[in-house]
Amino acid sequence: MKIVVLDGYTVNPGDNPWPGLNGLGDLTIYDRTPRVELLARASSADVLVTNKTVLDRSALEQLPDLKFIAVMATGYNVVDTEAGREMGIPVSNVPAYGTDTVAQYVMALMLELCHHVGEHAVSVERGEWQASPDWTYWKRPQIELRGLCLGIVGFGRIGRRVAELGTAFGMKIVYYSRSGSGGDFAKAKQVPLETLFSKADIISLHCSLDETNAGFVNTALLQRMKPSAFLINTARGQLINEGDLALALRQGFLAGAALDVLAVEPPGPGNPLLDAPGCLITPHMAWASLAARRRIVQATIENIRAFVSGSPVNVVNPVRNV
């Protein structure tokens, strides 16, 4: 059994080894795989492991030996799962590895929007405190979370965990869920999407991306927001119409945004959010704590082990007779 890891660097840049994976077969690990090298590297593989390397229909059709794909993430849109199903290639993902670490990162973004800790630390480094006539100063208003309304779009594992953390800060929680279920979280109130955007002081996106909601955060919704409100996105960049958000920030429909994801990653120089006022952008790192990456590696190994044993788990495209 030949196993090829196409892009192992983001999950293991050197601090997160692959214990036991080489015992499952002949293993080759690449840090990154450019598209032009994909077929040469994957041509004789029985198992492909990918994080963000795209395996579309055209690629799968040229890999006759491929038997299984392990995605090192919860989202699996980098793989044409329907093509895999048609070809008898099951695809497994890693569910629920990042609930706590992503929720924690959301709170970090929220607190940065409210306190601008980094900006004030840089101010001190520049000597502004030493030169101040007063014993204290702040360059931006400081915002207390208690009593504010946190609106959560998507109320799955991560959304509910963010709600728990927001509640610990004394925030009021409203949420919108297409499934209509808030689980057992009694302290949150379900509201229509338009109401959430009008009511919330801070909005955090936690919904999956599909063809029905791409770009749903648009001018119509952004104009409903309070001028003092913030938008946070750690889900998928394509959920937001980036041109509309940039314009909304410039026109003052909302006070600011904190985005860990963009529609195209890395962003090109023409992305309108790169120089939008009040827009904090981080490089898609909310998922990447060492603890979470260790869970990814271990779960991926277990997915491959289960496939080798004939009983694959976490399969997102059920295939007959596999």
CA distances from 195 to 177, 189, 201, 234, 313 (A): 13, 11, 12, 21, 39
Only one residue has tokens 């706590």, namely 100
Show the beta-strand stretches assigned E in the chain.
2-5, 26-29, 47-50, 68-71, 91-92, 149-153, 172-176, 188-190, 202-205, 230-233, 256-259, 279-281
Alpha helices in 271-311 (DSSP H): 290-308
Token digits of residue 80: 């044409």
What's at 60, amino acid-wise?
L
Q: CA-to-CA distance for 315 and 320, rounded, in angstroms? A: 12
Catalytic residue from among 284, 294, 295, 305: 284
Catalytic residue from among 224, 236, 242, 293: 236
CB atoms within 10 A of CB 257: 27
Write the DSSP assignment of 62-121 as a string of letters: T-TT--EEEESSS--TTB-HHHHHHTT--EE--TTSSHHHHHHHHHHHHHHHHH-HHHHH
Pair 249, 257: CB distance under 8 Å: yes
- CA 114 from centre of chain: 22
Is 164 designated active site? Answer: no
Q: CA-to-CA distance for 293 and 160, rounded, in angstroms? A: 21
- What is the rounded (10 degree) CA torsion for 101, 105, 106, 112? 160
Is 236 designated active site? Answer: yes
User: Using alpha carbons only, how large is the chain's radius of gyration in Å?
Assistant: 22
Residues catalogued as catalytic: 236, 265, 284
